[in-house]
Structure 1
Amino acid sequence: MMRVKRYDDLLEELIREILLRLPARTLVSLRSVCTSWRNLISAPDFTWNHLRRSCLRDPSLTPLQIAYYCRFPSVGMRVLSVQSMMENPSEPTRLDCFRGPSYYSMVGSFHGLLCMFDDDGSFKISHAMLWNPCTGFTFKSPEISGVADVRGFGYDHLSDTYKLYGIFKKEGPSGMESSTRIYTFGPTSSWRRIDDIPLVVLGVPTDDLCTFGNTTGVFFGSKKACTINWSIQHVVLYFDLGKETYGHFTLPVRESGYCTHLSVLRDCLSLCYEDTTTRRWIMWQMKEYGDPQSWTTLAMIPFHPRLRFMRHPLRPLRPLYISETDVLLALSSNFQMILYNLNDGSVDFPVIDSSNDNHHSLTNSYHYTPSFHIYHESLVSPHGLQSNSSQVLLRIMKPKPKPIIS
């Protein structure tokens, strides 16, 4: 006999369906309505359903943001809305600021979680922190000796875990010592020693970080592979997060140029480099991850006088995102956000409202801002983890102007 659902069950399902259609930031506020709503919104299955729905059906539920950590004029995280910059570039996009108690460097982001490294100021001890800016969730890893010169963060879908990779250097009895470690974010996890990168096989000096096109690895995730990727001379070196093994494949053949930059665009591993002969930035996409034959030219972007920083000519153009209408959002070598239309070649420069940051522009941050990361606002926190750190980054709000009394 078919069971007839009670009115209360139907009402609960209706409420759940309505809440699943709301943006993540709104749901965070609604957790305080009542205990039942808080329990529902905080439940892991609701969190994941909301994330999947937003990614597949309605991206507006988890708006895209750009996050970067800056040490000047004040220490903290800065966040910019991708939608605001792309839809209304002439209207100022507000720069949100979060003040932090320590010095951090960003390693990566996934599922709305930002992973950062901190140090004690002496470069002898490090720890990592996982932070969800939308919910305020923070988790701090155990300390580890040394500083990670090469690192990467990603998600292993086979084990449903977030992993942090680092090559740590520290002062030893006979000089600098190096060891490769991995940390799986979990309630009882610790740093584990793993095999070092087989740079000798690639013909690369093991003590020369300049061989890395990017010392912070780029995470690529799909059903077939979850890897952290670095460009090293003529190849992409990757670390498989599931198998915890290394591999490599070749980069596209380049006639000239240097200063490569890896990223993930439209779910494909992508490469951008400066061609000094033709005076253009060349963008490539790998249509089938791991297959060098699938490298395809995506765009050729002519040099623009506002896109190069002559004091640091080795900094590449950094592609961040491509819209459905083929507009590329990128960061220039002089730390200026740009919009480049891949169809007609038009260029635009979004206006940034930095009043929350003492009117400090991005172009003045090149010494203090090593990496920028795209992330989705979400409700996600790793399964089994509870916030264990009091080092919460506080949002700096712009004071409202006082009313004018006539």
Structure 2
Amino acid sequence: MEHDVPSLPEEIIVKILLRLPTKSLLKFRCVSKSWLFLISSYDFAKAHLKNSNDDRLMFGSKGFSMDLYTWSPQSAADHSAFGGTIYPPLDQNLLVQRVCIDCPLYEPHDVVWFEGSCNGLICLSSSDESLSLWNPTIGKAKKLPNSGTVLDFDYYGIGYGFGYDELIDDYKMVESLSFEPFAGAPTLDIQLKVYSLRANSWKTLLNWPGGHAFGGSGKFLNGAIYWSVHRLDGPIEWVIVSHDLSTYTFSVVHLPHLHNEDNDDVNVDVKVLRGCLEICCERNTHMDIW
């Protein structure tokens, strides 16, 4: 006598799967065709990402040959054993985990830099001036088309910002180039380009509000990328420029006077921590964090 195998309602199965880690979901795709279709669907991926409560930070090492690490601020707060150091000895550290860079677009000897991450996607740049997006969980990567930027300058600086445009469900990369238009120029020119993953193309922005020297790479928060910049044609006054990825508009946040009585040099960089914008003012002898 045959007995029907009991099964759960589909909505219950979906709720259970949404609570599982990504690596388990990848294995469960082979359970059945219906599970393969469900787990591979775009709507499920978005729901799983929204349901995730993993707040681990990802950062690259400072060495020439880059390593990637993940770090849990909550675990560090609960089990603080390294005095707040973010690069403790790996053989003694249980909080920082090294991520193997097995991106299929690069060889082990290639020089690769970590440019940013968003929703599990990692943006990498390499010594051949190429950019790529990599999902280390599923092992897939995409090389971005060339932006067309020509680095034929005696002096230039180039940086990137990577983020998500929720309005049109699109990932975008911003390339900022500051360069000396001619030898001995009194100031720098700025060129900004934006790559859209959905359109798979670059566009040039012409409405940069000002500022010549960038303090660091752009940081993504709540639909915008934030840059720390200052002008070179007057007193050094740092500002924060926010770039809305949906509207391509900019706004400027002025900072208070940062130089102290000793007139120490100061470099301002922006960071994001737990959903808040963090301003790091690095001086000759110490660092102030807002």
TM-score, structure 1 normalization: 0.53
Within 5 Å, give how 1:264-283 maps onto structure 2.
Answer: 264-274=272-282, 281-283=287-289
Within 5 Å, give how 1:211-360 maps onto structure 2.
Answer: 211-214=213-216, 216-221=217-222, 226-232=223-229, 233-254=237-258, 256=260, 258-274=266-282, 281-284=287-290
Provide, for residues 342-388 of structure 1, a one-character-per-residue CA deviation record: whole Å limited to 9, x for no partner: xxxxxxxxxxxxxxxxxxxxxxxxxxxxxxxxxxxxxxxxxxxxxxx
182, 195, 204: which one pairs with 2:194?
182
Within 5 Å, give how 1:2-401 maps onto structure 2.
Answer: 11-54=9-52, 59=53, 62=54, 64-68=56-60, 75=65, 77-82=67-72, 85-88=76-79, 90=81, 92-93=93-94, 94-99=97-102, 100-101=106-107, 102-120=110-128, 126-145=129-148, 146=150, 149-168=158-177, 179-186=191-198, 188-195=199-206, 197-199=208-210, 204=211, 206=212, 211-214=213-216, 216-221=217-222, 226-232=223-229, 233-254=237-258, 256=260, 258-274=266-282, 281-284=287-290
- Secondary structure at the aligned position of 1:144 is classed as coil
Distance (whole Å) between structure 2 residues aligned to residue 128 and residue 63 of structure 1? 25
Checking the alignment, whether the CA contact within 8 Å between 1:71 and 1:103 is kept in structure 2 is no
Distance (whole Å) between structure 2 residues aligned to residue 118 and residue 275 of structure 1? 30
Distance (whole Å) between structure 1 residues aligned to residue 172 and residue 6 of structure 2? 41
- Listed as ranges, the gaps of 5+ residues in structure 2 are 82-91, 152-156, 230-236
Provide, for residues 83-110 of structure 1, a one-character-per-residue CA deviation record: whole Å limited to 9, x for no partner: 6655445563342322442433222211
Distance (whole Å) between structure 2 residues aligned to residue 104 and residue 171 of structure 1? 26
- Listed as ranges, the gaps of 5+ residues in structure 1 are 1-6, 121-125, 285-406
- Secondary structure at the aligned position of 2:9 is classed as helix
Distance (whole Å) between structure 2 residues aligned to residue 20 and residue 114 of structure 1? 22
TM-score, structure 2 normalization: 0.71
**CA, structure 1 residues 86+30, in 2 after alignment: closer, same or farther (shift >3 Å)?**
farther
Moved more, 261-270 or 247-256: 247-256
Aligned-pair identity in percent equals 30
Residue type of the alignment partner of 1:229: Y
Q: How many residues align?
A: 247
**CA, structure 1 residues 168+260, in 2 after alignment: closer, same or farther (shift >3 Å)?**
closer
What's the offset of the Cα at 1:166?
0.9
**CA, structure 1 residues 119+191, in 2 after alignment: closer, same or farther (shift >3 Å)?**
farther
Distance (whole Å) between structure 2 residues aligned to residue 269 and residue 167 of structure 1? 20
The residue number in structure 1 matching 2:87 is none
Aligned-pair RMSD on alpha carbons?
3.3
Distance (whole Å) between structure 2 residues aligned to residue 167 and residue 157 of structure 1? 22
What's the offset of the Cα at 1:40?
1.1
